[in-house]
Structure 1
């Protein structure tokens, strides 16, 4: 399911290290540390990563640690403007579409080459599209972002959004089988990086075998990533748990100002903080909000724009009383969200009135808003015949998410509020990757804490992800309006006219918190990234899409 890929982004560290260990270089870095060296005068920047990348081929990845590295190695046709989730040119200087929204023409930059010297031209771009579309069943199992956004493949004969790619001079013409609001923004995702056809053929990039934890990655994905980005892979040192990238001197864009970029794998957040304070690394992200003030004293802590939502999902299959809209509204009214945001979330967090941030087109600025009123909540529960009902409240352990820095404390706050409204709250917790996500997906949890960080700036990427399918984490198929909501979302996504599409999403967003209320939107939280004061030039991204070719290190 589309939601799953973000859920496991940070927690895959241990398995990822093993996946690459057998093929990576064990040569030790002869450098002396984080910001001291650099033959070109730019020095070396060392970043503390929470885990190892699963692979170096982003097409077969779904985890944030892989994307952090591969964003520096590859380019995409479009990208996101630094500091925003808005689309801007990259390998494609411009593009246009046919009136029906199904044919897109991309005008490519001239003179771009992959790091192996292969020309990045229209033929190379179309070979990438055809590679994506010609995946076997094993390949599709590994290519989660393709499956989630484009559907099936030519080989499996399953329906796909993609139809064809035609190279014409320095242009590519991409045809789709249907209209979607996600195109072409989706092409800015790192999974759809443009890679060297020469290198992919040489190192058998498509030779992926197996599924799940049993995937065997080809040589290309493990050792020979070849893109057109500002850095190239120098080595992966499993002994020291470091990945070293070096400046691509032939990069077509703004060449890196640093000589090398090192990602040092430090799974524990407290250990990353200690490493920064000791000068062993130059920066790390997702610092504990409780540490923000102390980190600011000696470092440069940057707050990323909030592009996420924390929600409390409800599943009436696990608790039939939740089928009553008045009960769901009472649960919402009983939560003191302003106090929760103030006491449990970082500076800059705010209450969520909808299931997506207000920066996304289609956000409704005047929906029905729920205000905290414990007495009103009690009355509503009484009227619904649910006064004093028991409800399970699920929360994950062994994880910290940008939208949910401390799940236990958020759970405690909601439990206290619900109990004040007369509810009997039964706690249920499981490890994030040790049963929690599976239980939620299986429909075992009647109420559960989860969230989402957006991939790109469309309403479909938020509410379309959550509610389009009749079988989803909110179990909307059980409600009489479930199919209607799915149809409304599909219609909006397929609308070519932008103004019309935006108006439809505004209507849907209002219905989601009035007529439907399949869950309770709680908050939007800005995650942070911190560097020592020697580092400058890096713009914090709401998509964690920081570009390190702009980084500078003071001597």
Structure 2
């Protein structure tokens, strides 16, 4: 998504007066620091209690309907509020049991039988049943947004057979090799069927936009949009009850403010996408701060809207690809915390094609291609980025300077995260700079969202790319369980896209997250780099 990691998406947005509110809080704490600590004061300070955790991000949260959102900022929350049949944990990309204690797969790869944990309960105390699984997946398909894309042509409303209260058969329309992996994503979250009482005219989307009906380790306590979202530990959780009793997701608009808060001990962990690499180097090892470093599947991407004027021509898109200074981005902006990548499949994942030819930074070649396309004198362009992200801004400014040398007047449009999402999913952009992390470790995930014609717009094909050959290869890759065929198809798709250039991929990033030394149990998954396992973390 952005997960645009989006994986989608390491992008930002916050209320303009959030910095003011934080400074007022700081003043209050300073004036009362000698008073006896009460539970309320400890919670206000956050790091004053080992049971209270403050996480700072400048990425606002659009809404928290697990079947309707496509924002990583929302995923970070919904992963805590809901459970799935299977899940991911730690630094591996293997699925492990969650609501499903075990499962069986038929020899033909079509029928999956899930045996549910009989102790699992929703937050209102009702049991998690096979009916809840059927309801959740059916609703995801009916809502018709990002989650529906995951299930499209894989299952339908007739795919379910409830064997008993805690056993369900799910029969696929055709074999789909990554099916089990998909159920560990946020789109596989199981929702309390009592949501039907609040369906209204939109299947409960309005209701779940700022409420939750899950069974996860945390419960939503409050949400002051643009300021703070508070989760409380589910003391009746059917699994291990979290040690961190309160998790505050703080929307801190300015990275410099978040840094100061961490140095003062008011923030325990900062969103890894928020702090620029040069500042991370300054923070590491000082003021009881450690920068955790880990490999990642996050890929920076520039979506080129292939339906827009100028950009319809592949030669123009190739010219743009030659006008990006990749080495400078990696060495000067990311300070070596990344490597070149030729497509949306990250190095280390099944299906990665190491033989994709990388576009070199060659302004003369870019000029020649523009001349061939009939645009020797250049043209104006606009690139959309999320505001308050120094790395995105620096990349865009570098592109602006280099594009000018080939006659392209590139204007930078910085937007709050929700506004950015609305712009790019509705196709109103020309170029869009973001990033992507996969929700499950299979090339189908990245390529289907980025390249299949059915994923245009809200499905996160932000290039509005439409290539029948690519569609056919993707569909075949989904329908066979022969891994050799799948690998061949995915590598071929990367070759085609390299020539078509619907996207430019500046870099595959490693992940660096600043945290206080007292934080324990934080692990970065290379796939879900934005996922924070609050439920298993502690503070010493």
Contact 1:392–1:446 (8 Å) recurs in 2: no
Change (3 A) 1:178 1:412: same
CA distance in 2, matches of 1:262, 1:317: 42
Contact 1:301–1:529 (8 Å) recurs in 2: yes
For structure 2, the residue ranges without an aligned partner over 5 or more in a row are 19-37
Report the equivalent of 1:145. 146
Mapped pair 1:127 → 2:132: yes
* Cα deviation code 1:364-403 (max 9, x no counterpart): 1222233334444455555x265734143422255256xx
Report the equivalent of 1:473. 462
Report the equivalent of 1:177. 173
Give aligned pairs, total. Answer: 505
Change (3 A) 1:540 1:208: farther
SS at match of 2:267: coil
Change (3 A) 1:350 1:163: farther
Report the equivalent of 1:207. 199
CA distance in 1, matches of 2:147, 2:422: 22
Mapped pair 1:34 → 2:46: yes
SS at match of 1:449: strand
Mapped pair 1:273 → 2:259: yes
CA distance in 1, matches of 2:537, 2:481: 39
Question: Where does 1:337-486 land on structure 2 (aligned, <5 Å)?
Answer: 337-345=326-334, 347-379=336-368, 384=372, 386=374, 388-399=376-387, 405-420=390-405, 422-427=406-411, 429=413, 431=415, 440=424, 445-469=429-453, 472-477=461-466, 482-486=467-471
Report the equivalent of 2:24. none
* Cα deviation code 1:220-241 (max 9, x no counterpart): x7556441x33344x3274995
CA distance in 2, matches of 1:448, 1:60: 22
Shift of 1:336: 2.5
Contact 2:92–2:525 (8 Å) recurs in 1: yes
Shift of 1:67: 2.8
Change (3 A) 1:304 1:430: same
CA distance in 2, matches of 1:63, 1:445: 18
For structure 1, the residue ranges without an aligned partner over 5 or more in a row are 18-27, 153-158
CA RMSD of aligned residues (A): 3.8
Contact 1:368–1:513 (8 Å) recurs in 2: yes
* Cα deviation code 1:56-85 (max 9, x no counterpart): 653444433433233223321111131244
Report the equivalent of 1:22. none
When structure 1 is superposed on structure 2, of 107-116 and 97-106 the one drifting more is 107-116
CA distance in 2, matches of 1:135, 1:353: 33
* Cα deviation code 1:224-281 (max 9, x no counterpart): 6441x33344x32749955444444444444423343333343443332222222222
* Cα deviation code 1:166-195 (max 9, x no counterpart): 233553211222343441222112243224
TM-score, normalised to structure 1's length?
A: 0.78
CA distance in 2, matches of 1:532, 1:398: 27
Shift of 1:504: 1.4
Report the equivalent of 1:23. none
Contact 1:284–1:531 (8 Å) recurs in 2: yes
TM-score, normalised to structure 2's length?
A: 0.80
* Cα deviation code 1:299-357 (max 9, x no counterpart): 122235322222333345534486254x5434333432112211122542122211221
CA distance in 2, matches of 1:547, 1:553: 13
Shift of 1:165: 2.3
Contact 1:468–1:485 (8 Å) recurs in 2: yes
* Cα deviation code 1:457-497 (max 9, x no counterpart): 121221211111075533434xxxx2122222222122222
CA distance in 1, matches of 2:226, 2:429: 41
SS at match of 2:302: strand
